[in-house]
Structure 1
């Protein structure tokens, strides 16, 4: 049984409706046992006051953005929430709301690199809120908005009921162009279930195949690119891990996210992998799907092209095949 506290990271650009979405959840009976961390960019926090009647435990981290000057504070706030949960508060989950200007990647790295947090906190989901009024403009002009989408596993579209709102289909198309494997949900739909989104049951480590649209790269104004590599044969796992480690070591700052499902030569299960920049989460073993044996990797990068990644992997796999034949061995694998 996994008794780590489930954490949902909620991000989104300024004014997208993050606080409203969280309040919508915590005001329900199912959301009452939720601990919340609110990060605000500025000296005085405001958003946390909106939750005082809906949830008992609020931790405010203000005076700076968690993705830069105040990253250490997230560990302290999470520690206090976990201690409260262990001390009788019986929290079922925690939600961390970032500032509208936050880059979620360093926050995820903080959670992954702190040994105590790894043992006590489980990152359940990264939810990005995109509003239907300003969302398309923000995605076009604001690098922070694109990064927030690129690292999410779920996007919630808000404010679609407002006068100047764009259609859900337009928002979904723009979001999928950045990250084609996202789950995209309309918060104005009658069957919208906030508990299913923020309840801490999901896992960003398990990619969804249903949202994939193409294997071709899609470029953006800040060189943000998304593409999918697909494989019909089992992947040489040792060679793959060497290649991916080398790739992230050399280009981790420009590889915003990589995730996928792999059928490998070293396991009788499918391996779900998920990484954000330099941080790779341990692979998750999943049952084989008899109806879909393909392997795939989804990359979201800045300035790293599809062809370069594909060619470097192919070189590594060719080297691995030669290494298994003594007469063709070379001393070193090719650089990623």
Structure 2
């Protein structure tokens, strides 16, 4: 029951916080970000989507760690963002087609100060307790199809979750199971009503967002360069391959303390690096060409 699951979940989030601090020393894995990561990485259980028995599924420590490394390698979008009242935050991306498009947001909602005052009013009261109701959507920019988040039916809680406007949860997730590879989709985060703080004063709302299944989301010049040289897999038990690097480039492998563990020259289109003797943990692989330096973080299992 919860007496055992609570310390397990707490311990896993603690490990994620440690990894996050190692990868991003200047950032903090706050409560909203931890919830977003937990929900997004969960293993499906029970009905597809959330359900009253299994919630969002089983917590997946490994997948969560992989997503953090993906953020550090610019293959995953995982950010803390701010929504201003009445303004739509949007970003576009191209579907990879190799996995579902999946976007999760969560936010720390201000305390609701208008709770029922009597037992009769509180019993089975279905009125939403959200103070700031954020909305997540994905729009297919080709045919303008709008994809909605998961929603449970309070009157029929055992029914599978549907996809519709969610007005009661401070976490929303939109999934497109079979996106069209190469097609552009737009992610939108907006709000209903006015955004306020616990005192009722108007204020922006911070939220966390995690995006997978896209390529070229808010691409930067740096990310574009990194795509020319492929380092794969970034999670391994033994070998990591460097592909498409110019010949006579060099590589170096470091641990997180900055200690150089391996170095060498790239003499072909594929160079394999053996990590089998390395302890489990996170490492940094650096590739230097004549024009640029590319770094990727790796997980040794």
TM class by shorter chain equals under 0.3
Of Structure 1 and Structure 2, the greater strand share is in 2
**Larger radius of gyration, structure 1 or 2?**
2
Q: Which has the higher contact order (CA 8 A, sep 6+)?
A: 2
Of Structure 1 and Structure 2, the greater helix share is in 1
If the length of structure 1 is used for normalisation, what is the TM-score?
0.23
If the length of structure 2 is used for normalisation, what is the TM-score?
0.25
